[in-house]
A and B are shown apart, each in its own frame.
Chain A
């Protein structure tokens, strides 16, 4: 069992490696945190996620807790989303594949109550769907706390020509918020 978990984690690490690693200490995050009074990454401590959860949800990213007593951001999730469904990719102007170049890295900043405050994409590599990086569009996720599901075309506006990325990030924000709320501190 442990061997399987190890393999799973190695596979996903390799997947990430093949694409270039996630830059956890990226400039965009630094700027967002410093606006909140958190001066650098030393005030972040990584939260351990149970192996079973890592494997089950194929998590490519990490959760952090802000240990400084600064502003409103208390938790961070930084991770990667592969923007293609396994087994086939649609092409509404978006050609994607499972793991070669179609992905983006983003982070979510949560407050003390584990409610989404800010979502920002800091590394967009996919060929289409770049419209999801627009700050105005990402504001839709603010206030999400898991009490209501996030649904494209319902409470999340779709973007014509960017169906895959829109669905991918919406799904991921919902999942990671749920996971954070289930994490034991």
Chain B
């Protein structure tokens, strides 16, 4: 399956490359993509990729560095008509893992009302939607967007999105399946928050619907502010096959579920070469006392999912090449982040200081062109139970086209 996929991608890319230089190729595959392309350019192809080098630095201990083709992504879109389009994002992570990150059909009722259905990105925060390496500073995605709003967060659902241009407002509202909280074992916990509960459209199951939405305002010059929300209960396989009148069975299933109420506030501001960015998340999780007891390990140790998680960061960057003639941009940046998956816990467990993290990331982003960046940064992380900041040096390339 994976090999077939890879072969198809390679074939399409090869065909497209030849298609554009106008050479005559007589192999079978030329025809399929050629037809698509000649159809008034209804096929849209794009992609992005990142290669990373992460090197922990420690005066006392030798550490191997890690080098990884973190991701290579192909974005394919097909415009069936002015109103109907299909968008899909195919990803290779760490060279061997294949994912479909988006696959949805969009139908335009009007400029301000577009219907969407399929596998879609959850509109929480900034990085989940705009996650191409050329759109954020730092080699790795912000840690808040790993532990609190687990990027790349995508699920299957349907909803509406649109733009009220006179009001400079964009909105998205979707109904989707939720996190896989329990499927025989617990997928949520204090260390990784909700991250391992992502179903990603891979034979997802739904036991109750989850709602998510975002509103963005871009009326002031250079400023984009967004307010996101995500509400619902996590899913559990225990509901499956349980009789509607089986109160005990339903109660059991209920104890394997937590309620999630997440809000996000983000702001991006560009002014005269300065780029400021801020992000705030707060997640309230209900029923975690019961969940932690229900998903306790065999030796009786309770699970440790927190009842509230929070995270925020503020970042500033400046293009030092702004006043020179070059198209290139060189942006030193600094970001301060804080995250805590144990911001609050129920009485049956205690807060784990290791889950509280202070992170400082500082480095350089060199944009050779808007689509190609070279990044380097130093990241200092101090967990609540550590005295010193651990240091990691990161470097990488990122492209988007």
Which residues does A use to contact B, with CB under 8 Å?
Answer: 18-20, 87-93, 95-101, 121, 124-125, 130-131, 133-137, 139-140, 153-154, 157-161, 163, 167
Contact = CB atoms under 8 A, between A and B. Distances in A.
Contact of A100 (B79, B222, B319): B79
Interface string B59-78: 00000000000000001010
Contact of A153 (B79, B85, B319): B319
What are the nearest 3 A-B pairs in CB distance? A136-B221, A91-B46, A131-B218
B135 A133 contact: no
A131 B44 contact: no
B221 A89 contact: no
Given A89-B46, A97-B42, A160-B135, A137 B275 contact: no
A136 B222 contact: yes
B129 interface: yes
B130 interface: yes
B111 A125 contact: yes
Given A95-B75, A95-B87, 4 more contacts: A91-B46, A124-B163, A134-B218, A140-B221
B146 interface: no
A92 B400 contact: yes
A178 B90 CA distance: 43
Interface string B352-370: 0000000000000000001
A133 B132 contact: no
Contacts of B129: 93
5 contacts: A100-B41, A100-B79, A134-B218, A157-B222, A161-B130
Interface of B: 20, 40-48, 75, 77, 79, 82, 85, 87, 111, 129-130, 132, 134-135, 163, 165, 168, 170, 218-222, 224, 268, 270-273, 275, 319, 322-323, 329, 370-371, 400-401
B87 A139 contact: no
A134 B170 contact: no
A164 B8 CA distance: 29
Nearest to B324: A154
Contact of A130 (B44, B163, B272): B163
Contacts of A93: 129-130, 132, 135
Nearest to A140: B221
A72 to B, nearest CB: 22
B40 A99 contact: yes
A92 B132 contact: yes
Nearest to A166: B370
B400 A90 contact: yes
A154 B326 CA distance: 9
A159 B400 CA distance: 16
- State the main secondary structure of chain A at its contact with B: loop
Contact of B135 (A18, A125, A161): A161
A179 B224 CA distance: 33
Given A101-B85, A134-B218, A95 B77 contact: yes
A92 B165 contact: no
Nearest to A18: B40
Contact of A160 (B42, B43, B268, B273): B268
A60 B20 CA distance: 25
A125 B110 CA distance: 10
Contacts of B111: 124-125
B193 to A, nearest CB: 25
A79 B268 CA distance: 30
B79 A19 contact: no
A92 B163 contact: no
B7 to A, nearest CB: 23
Q: Which of A18, A20, A163 has the most CB of B within 10 A?
A: A163
B221 A88 contact: no
Contacts of A20: 82
Contacts of A135: 168, 219
Contacts of B20: 87-88
A157 B42 contact: no
A91 B47 contact: yes
A139 B401 CA distance: 29
Q: Which of B45, B79, B132 has the most CB of A within 10 A?
A: B79
B311 to A, nearest CB: 20
B81 to A, nearest CB: 8
A93 B172 CA distance: 15
Nearest to A159: B270
Contact of A101 (B82, B219, B271, B272): B82
Contacts of B219: 134-136
Contacts of B134: 92
B220 A136 contact: yes
B168 A133 contact: yes
Contacts of A124: 111, 163, 165
B401 A90 contact: yes
Nearest to B82: A101
Contacts of B163: 124, 130
A81 B66 CA distance: 45
A89 B130 CA distance: 16
A26 to B, nearest CB: 13
Nearest to B76: A95
Given A90-B370, A95-B87, A99-B40, A154 B322 contact: yes
Contacts of B329: 153
